[in-house]
Amino acid sequence: MGQPVSHEGEQDSLPPGQRPQRGWPVTHYGPVPRFKADRWEFRVFGATADGDKHCWNHEQFSSLPHETVTADLHCVTKFSMRGVEWGGVPARTVLELAPPAPETTHVMVWAEYGFSSNLRLVDFDRPDALFATHRSGEPLTAEHGFPVRLVVPHLYAWKGPKWVRGVEYMTADRRGFWEERGYHNVGDPWREQRYSYQEEPGEGPEL
Ligand SMILES: Nc1nc2c(c(=O)[nH]1)N[C@H]1C(S)=C(S)[C@@H](COP(=O)(O)O)O[C@H]1N2
Ligand SMILES: [Mo]
């Protein structure tokens, strides 16, 4: 068990334009996938250091070392949930067990039904980026992403797919699902990077 990473108290304010939300709404595009343990695998592919794919089945992924991250979650539709306690496998553990080739600059995180979100490697390779399997000590429910969702606390929540199935290491940037549909390629809530029309040169591939 590693040290819990806490953002509590560090940041009392919310990012600009956000308001606190009570309860836990369900926000996503499309249907909730049904989990099938015998078919599920978590796949790391693309520009891996050894050129091979790395796969974990559900039992193997569940037995990777877990950590806890407590952080706010910011939805681009302007609600924020404060102090959410997540448990799961750090993104850095995935990077260590299935290392990317040195040319890797971005990752695409893939989820069920082809949903995806792209991240800069520097945003993925952070101590508080977590493949969450639990919230407040309880396994995630189906609508909140069971068995695994990505949490990247310093970016808007769409950058964290629910129902994650894999990570693709990329040597050039490519837009994910919402990034192709008008949302900002980087998505930093503190800079209010909500929409793609706000992107500065170099912040995203051409639309
Ligand atoms: N697969 C998938 N993951 C997704 C989304 C989605 O549309 N599909 N929406 C994102 C958005 S916009 C938000 S705000 C959070 C919401 O998580 P919640 O439903 O658990 O509150 O999930 C994110 N993860
Ligand atoms: Mo969102």
Residues 129-178 have pLDDT tens digits of: 999 999 999 999 999 999 999 999 999 999 999 999 999 999 999 999 99
d(CA 76, CA 182): 12
Residue of minimum CA distance from atom 8 in ligand 1: 28
pLDDT for res 6: 54
User: Bridge-partner residues for 79, per DSSP?
Assistant: 19
pLDDT for res 12: 75
Q: Is 115 in the pocket of ligand 1 (CB under 6 A)?
A: yes
**Looking at residues 31-49, what average pLDDT do you find?**
98
Residue of minimum CA distance from atom 17 in ligand 1: 27
- SS3 of 166, please? strand
Sheet holding 164-170, edge to edge: 54-57, 41-46, 164-170, 106-111, 116-120
pLDDT band at 1 (very low <50, low <70, confident <90, very high): very low
Q: Is 61 in the pocket of ligand 1 (CB under 6 A)?
A: no
Q: Is 109 in the pocket of ligand 1 (CB under 6 A)?
A: no
**Looking at residues 8-27, what average pLDDT do you find?**
85
Of 170, 144, 23, residue with least CA distance to 88: 144
pLDDT for res 4: 57
* Atom of ligand 1 at shortest range from CA of 24: 21
Q: How many CB atoms lie within 10 A of CB 83?
A: 12
pLDDT at 5 over 80: no
pLDDT for res 72: 97
What is the pTM assigned to this prediction? 0.94
- DSSP-derived letter for residue 184 is -
Residue of minimum CA distance from atom 11 in ligand 1: 158
Residues 88-141 have pLDDT tens digits of: 999 999 999 999 999 999 999 999 999 999 999 999 999 999 999 999 999 999
pLDDT for res 10: 47
pLDDT band at 9 (very low <50, low <70, confident <90, very high): very low
